[in-house]
Copies of this chain bind each other. A is one copy, B any other.
């Protein structure tokens, strides 16, 4: 249970002590990255994969007209770009949203893990499939929910995912409204309006660009949030247990 990666992969199924030890070895030399820096860019064919230890990283594409579409958020314990180990070429960019602590894992190490450590391999496969499930939910969220529900849903997801890796103390969303808009696919102005509406309803609170959720259950009701898709078998995904 020593590191975030192990804690995250824990959801995928049992890992043996030797697996955990191997994971500890892999996570060495973390280094800090400032907010709003690119880790890698579209077209790169880099030699390593990134693991987030702390902070928040996003996957984004740039549109021909210059707009930015954020298509995924990576939280502590998330591996950003297993792709490159298999697919080779990046078809999108990776950038930090906040100050982060990141570990670079050489491609060869990933290959070796996949080759020789069945349980870790399975766990990595699992995490890829969960990423896919999240993407599906985002797609539904974006396609058929109005912006207010959509935003609330996003907050619920980030909350649950942070809880699952024991980082609930992290600011829920340390984002500018522009970043929020780039995630939701709406204009900044509209993101602003929707956010202040949620605030007015008491569903979220904001302090220096940080969103906090006073009552998760209420927000979940509003957003019609179902944790299922995160596949957090063991953890409770942030449900407020033992309340009262």
Contact = CB atoms under 8 A, between A and B. Distances in A.
A5 interface: no
A2 interface: no
Interface stretch (A31-39, A65-73, A168-176, A207-215): A65-73
Nearest to A140: B69
A203 B228 CA distance: 41
A140 B61 contact: yes
A200 interface: no
A64 B231 CA distance: 20
Contacts of A136: 59, 61, 71-72, 91-92, 135
Interface string A136-150: 101110111000000
Contacts of A118: 115
Given A63-B144, A64-B224, A91-B229, A71 B128 contact: no
A190 interface: no
A64 B225 CA distance: 11
Given A144-B67, A144-B185, A86 B139 contact: no
Q: What's the number of copies of this chain in the assembled complex?
A: 2
Contact of A83 (B72, B129, B143): B129
A133 interface: yes
Interface in A46-87: 59, 61, 63-64, 67, 69, 71-72, 82-83, 86-87
Nearest to A132: B132
Contacts of A132: 83, 128, 131-132, 135
A222 interface: no
A144 B71 CA distance: 12
A7 interface: no
A216 interface: no
A167 interface: no
Contacts of A59: 136
18 contacts: A61-B140, A63-B144, A69-B139, A69-B140, A71-B136, A72-B136, A83-B132, A86-B125, A87-B126, A87-B231, A91-B133, A91-B136, A91-B228, A91-B229, A115-B118, A128-B129, A132-B135, A139-B139
Given A67-B144, A132-B132, A135-B136, 12 more contacts: A59-B136, A71-B140, A87-B129, A87-B130, A87-B133, A91-B228, A91-B231, A92-B136, A125-B125, A131-B132, A142-B142, A142-B185
